[in-house]
Each structure stands twice: as C-alpha cells, then as structure tokens.
C-alpha cells in the first residue's frame, strides 16, 4: 500500500497519510463538488493541488476555496466525514508552513503539492522540476497515482536539455 498526502517544502504530513486510493477518492468527489457548484478558480484545487502543485502565490486563494467548500462538502459526504476533515486539516497545516516560509522570505522550492509519502517515491517526486508538472496534459492522472516507479534520471535529462 502506497501512502499519499500533502507535501510542503519542509515537511511531509506522514502522520495523517492514507492509502493513495483514499485520497484519490477524496479529490474525485471534491472536484465534482467544486465543478458542480461552479466555484470560481476551482482549478487551483481540481488541477493544481490534485495533479500538479500549488505555487506559493496561489496558496491563499487555494486555502480560501478549500475553507469555503469544507462544511458543505463534508455535509454531502457524511459517511466519509471524519476522514475528509483530516484531509482538510492536513491541507491547512501545510498552508501554515507555506505562510511561515513566505513570512521569513524563503520561497524555494516554491511549491506545495499532493504526493507520495514513501521512499523512494517521495524523494523522486520532490526532485522533479516544476516544469514537469506544468507540462502534464490536462487529462493526465496525478503523478502520485502512477503504478510504475518514476524514472527520475530520464525526466531530469529531458528537462535539462530543454533549458
């Protein structure tokens, strides 16, 4: 069983990690909810947080979307209430770290994301260039849901040759 959760520049939130399939189901339901409710800028959650990464400058807007949706979304999913509250709280904990980093002027690396929380996958994901995530096709599955190991060396070579 591979664990997935939220990854910030300084921390992985392993204590609250769950099987990646559980987090995947959460994001599927949350994405459906945000799209159905026509939440402005929902792609910060349905695409950026779910599949790619959230840039530091977008963390507050992403936080606002999550905070505004939390209670109503959880009310619509009573059977998963406790687990979903944990996911929301873990996200908020990561946002607090990003706020601290911004306060002290540390913006590198400049991303907060959903990812795998087990070695060697967590290390591989953390070393992927942001451009790798930016270039993912819109219909791509999140990197953290892949079944094969990432070939980091191949990816890094491809992105180094682009620069």
Q: What is the pLDDT of residue 158?
A: 78
Name 5's bridge partners.
115
Phi, psi dihedral angles at 16 (to 5 degrees): -115, 15
φ/ψ of residue 117, rounded to 5: -115, 25
- What is the residue-level pLDDT of the chain in tens, covering all 163 positions? 678 888 888 887 655 556 888 899 999 999 999 999 999 999 999 999 999 999 999 999 999 999 999 999 999 999 999 999 999 999 999 999 999 999 998 877 788 999 887 766 677 777 788 888 899 898 888 888 877 666 767 777 777 777 6
Q: Provide the pLDDT for residue 163.
A: 60
Residue 55: strand, helix, or coil: strand
User: What pLDDT score does 2 carry?
Assistant: 77
The pTM for the full model equals 0.84
In angstroms, the CA 135 to CA 54 distance is 14
Radius of gyration of the chain, Cα coordinates, nearest whole angstrom = 15
Domain positions in the chain are: 3-162
Model pLDDT, residue 104: 92
pLDDT for residue 128 = 81
Q: How many angstroms separate the Cα of 130 from the Cα of each of 51, 125, 157, 163? A: 12, 10, 14, 13
């Amino acid at each position: 069983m591979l664990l997935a959760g939220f990854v910030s520049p300084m921390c992985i939130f392993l204590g609250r990690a769950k099987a990646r399939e559980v987090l995947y189901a959460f994001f599927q339901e949350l994405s459906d909810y945000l799209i159905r409710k026509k939440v402005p800028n929902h792609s910060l959650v349905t695409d950026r947080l779910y599949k790619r990464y959230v840039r530091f400058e977008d963390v507050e807007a992403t936080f606002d979307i999550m905070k505004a949706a939390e209670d109503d979304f959880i009310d619509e999913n009573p059977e998963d209430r406790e687990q979903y509250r944990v996911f929301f709280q873990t996200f908020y904990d990561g946002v607090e770290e990003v706020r601290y980093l911004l306060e002290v002027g540390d913006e590198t690396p400049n991303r907060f994301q959903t990812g795998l929380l087990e070695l060697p996958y967590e290390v591989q994901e953390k070393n992927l260039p942001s451009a790798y995530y930016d270039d993912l096709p819109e219909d791509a599955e999140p990197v953290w849901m892949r079944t094969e190991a990432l070939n980091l060396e191949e990816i890094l070579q491809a992105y180094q040759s682009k620069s």
